[in-house]
């Protein structure tokens, strides 16, 4: 859950912004969130109260992991005193958080926050991108693996921490590319610590400026890409020129997905089906898994 927090007088408001608004709607309970996150809200407010210095809004990311809650707070004012940081960290320790990070820096790890990824166990970097729900991630992975099954060598572009790479590596050698260095380091660590996986080659690479070219893609017979909301225009153009027979495109934005699917179709790919995944319940957002092939 990605919360926003604000202080007014002595009161702490923790919740979500209204749609297309800066209004902060206080949250006391939520039927969509994992129960451990909802239960932690009162303790979260106590921790945040120690870190406010003025009227700044804080961003609060809470992830329910296999070993407990992972807390990442950003937006801190520069004049937050070291004592306040220490007191907040101690309060989080007493509250039972597995890890606490401030502005991308790990300040407390009581238990390494682990995320299962197939047969592997992933330690995401503070604030690292993860899917919104474990159930949706499992369904997306099932669709991707089924479409790419039987391949001899796969590529995972915009790989993040390895949601798909680590699962694919149970069946084939995998090349993964992602611009975030911390994400790639987490992927490498998970792959090396997971016995029984095929080799995973992970590269820090900006796929917007330096997409994997069609000649480079010639060594793969399966490919998954999962770009951010902006899509993958440059990378899709290279895939369209390639001979990779099967592609799975995971997207959180229907407009950029449609644009990139047009590029792939113009390059000879046939769209087999698109699976919507409603992992953002009661919102206008939708995830989609598009499955394509080229003869």
Contact 205, 178 (CB under 8 A): yes
Asked whether the domain spanning 115-293 has the same topology as the one spanning 2-109, the reply is no
Among 252, 261, 289, 291, the active-site one is 252
Which residues, in sequence order, are CB contacts of 251 under 8 Å at separation 6+? 226, 227, 231, 257, 260, 287, 288, 290
Instruction: Give the per-residue pLDDT at 295.
Output: 87
Instruction: Give the per-residue pLDDT at 29.
Output: 85
Instruction: Give the per-residue pLDDT at 5.
Output: 96
Instruction: Give the per-residue pLDDT at 108.
Output: 92
Summarised one tens digit per residue, pLDDT across range 217-260 is: 999 999 999 999 999 999 999 999 999 999 999 999 999 999 99
Q: Tell whether domain 2-109 is in CATH 2.40.50.1070.
A: yes
Q: Is 161 a catalytic residue?
A: no
Task: Please determine, for residue 161, whether its predicted confidence score (pLDDT) is greater than 90.
Answer: yes
Task: Please determine, for residue 281, whether its predicted confidence score (pLDDT) is greater than 80.
Answer: no
Whole-prediction pTM value? Answer: 0.93
Contact 293, 271 (CB under 8 A): no
CA–CA distance, 149 with 37 (Å, rounded to integer)? 36
Task: Please determine, for residue 279, whether its predicted confidence score (pLDDT) is greater than 90.
Answer: no
Contact 244, 267 (CB under 8 A): no
Maximum CA extent, the chain: 65
CA–CA distance, 177 with 158 (Å, rounded to integer)? 6
Instruction: Please give the angle made by the CA atoms of 203, 204 and 210, to the nearest 5 degrees.
Output: 100
Task: Please determine, for residue 280, whether its predicted confidence score (pLDDT) is greater than 90.
Answer: no
Which residues, in sequence order, are CB contacts of 139 under 8 Å at separation 6+? 277
Range 134-142 average pLDDT: 95
Summarised one tens digit per residue, pLDDT across range 26-85 is: 988 888 899 999 999 999 999 999 999 887 899 999 999 999 999 999 999 998 999 999
DSSP state letters, the chain:
-EEEEEEETTEEEEEEEPTTS-PEEE-S--SSS-HHHHHTHHHHHHHHHTT--SS--EEEEEEEETTEEEEEEE---TT--HHHHHHHHHHHHHHT-SEEEETTEEEEESS---EEETTEEE-PPTT----S-HHHHHHHHHHHHHHHTT-SSEEEES-TTTTTHHHHTTTS-EEEEES-HHHHHHHHHHHHTSTTPPPEEEEE--TTTSPPPHHHHTT-SEEEE---TT--HHHHHHHHHS--SEEEEEES-HHHHHHHHHHHHHTT-EEEEEEEE--STTSS--EEEEEEE--
Instruction: Give the per-residue pLDDT at 56.
Output: 84
Summarised one tens digit per residue, pLDDT across range 163-197 is: 999 999 999 999 999 999 999 999 999 999 999 99
Q: Among 19, 85, 71, 74, which residue's Cα sits nearest to residue 41?
A: 71
The domain locations on the chain are: 2-109, 115-293
Which residues, in sequence order, are CB contacts of 161 under 8 Å at separation 6+? 115, 117, 122, 124, 125, 128, 129, 130, 183, 186, 187, 190
Mean pLDDT is lowest, of 8-22, 82-96, 107-121, 160-174, for 8-22
Instruction: Give the per-residue pLDDT at 18.
Output: 85
pLDDT confidence band for 132 (50 / 70 / 90)? confident
pLDDT confidence band for 155 (50 / 70 / 90)? very high
Instruction: Give the per-residue pLDDT at 20.
Output: 81
CA–CA distance, 235 with 159 (Å, rounded to integer)? 13
Range 7-18 average pLDDT: 90
Task: Please determine, for residue 282, whether its predicted confidence score (pLDDT) is greater than 80.
Answer: no
Mean pLDDT is lowest, of 202-216, 236-250, 253-267, 269-283, for 269-283
Instruction: Give the per-residue pLDDT at 146.
Output: 98
**Tokens found for residue 85:** 């940081």
Q: Which CATH number fits domain 115-293: 3.40.50.150, 3.40.50.1100, 3.40.50.10860, 3.30.70.260?
A: 3.40.50.150
Instruction: Give the per-residue pLDDT at 22.
Output: 84
């Amino acid at each position: 859950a990605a919360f926003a927090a604000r202080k007014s007088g002595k009161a702490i408001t923790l919740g979500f912004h209204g749609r297309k608004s800066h209004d902060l709607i206080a949250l006391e309970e939520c039927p969509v969130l994992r129960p451990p996150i909802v239960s932690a809200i009162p303790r979260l407010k106590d921790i945040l109260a120690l870190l406010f210095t003025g009227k700044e809004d804080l961003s609060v990311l809470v992830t329910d992991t296999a070993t407990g809650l992972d807390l990442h707070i950003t937006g801190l004012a520069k004049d937050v005193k070291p004592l306040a940081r220490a007191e907040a960290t101690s309060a989080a320790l007493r509250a039972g958080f597995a890890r606490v990070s401030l502005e991308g820096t790990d300040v407390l790890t009581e238990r390494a926050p682990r995320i299962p990824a197939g047969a592997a166990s992933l330690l995401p970097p503070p604030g690292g991108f993860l899917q919104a729900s474990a159930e949706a991630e499992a369904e997306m992975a099932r669709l991707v693996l089924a479409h790419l099954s039987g391949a001899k060598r796969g590529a995972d572009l915009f790989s993040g921490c390895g949601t798909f790479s680590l699962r694919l590596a149970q069946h084939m050698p995998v090349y993964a590319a992602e611009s975030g260095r911390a994400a790639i380091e987490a992927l490498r660590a998970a792959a090396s610590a997971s016995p029984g996986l095929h080799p995973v080659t992970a590269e820090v690479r900006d796929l917007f400026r330096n997409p994997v070219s069609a000649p480079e893609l010639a060594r793969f017979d399966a490919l998954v890409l999962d770009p951010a909301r902006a899509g993958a225009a440059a990378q899709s153009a290279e895939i369209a020129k390639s001979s990779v027979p099967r592609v799975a495109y995971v997207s959180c934005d229907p407009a950029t997905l449609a644009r990139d699917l047009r590029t792939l179709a113009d390059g000879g790919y046939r769209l087999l089906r698109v699976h919507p995944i409603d992992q953002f319940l009661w919102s206008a957002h939708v995830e989609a898994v598009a499955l394509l092939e080229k003869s």
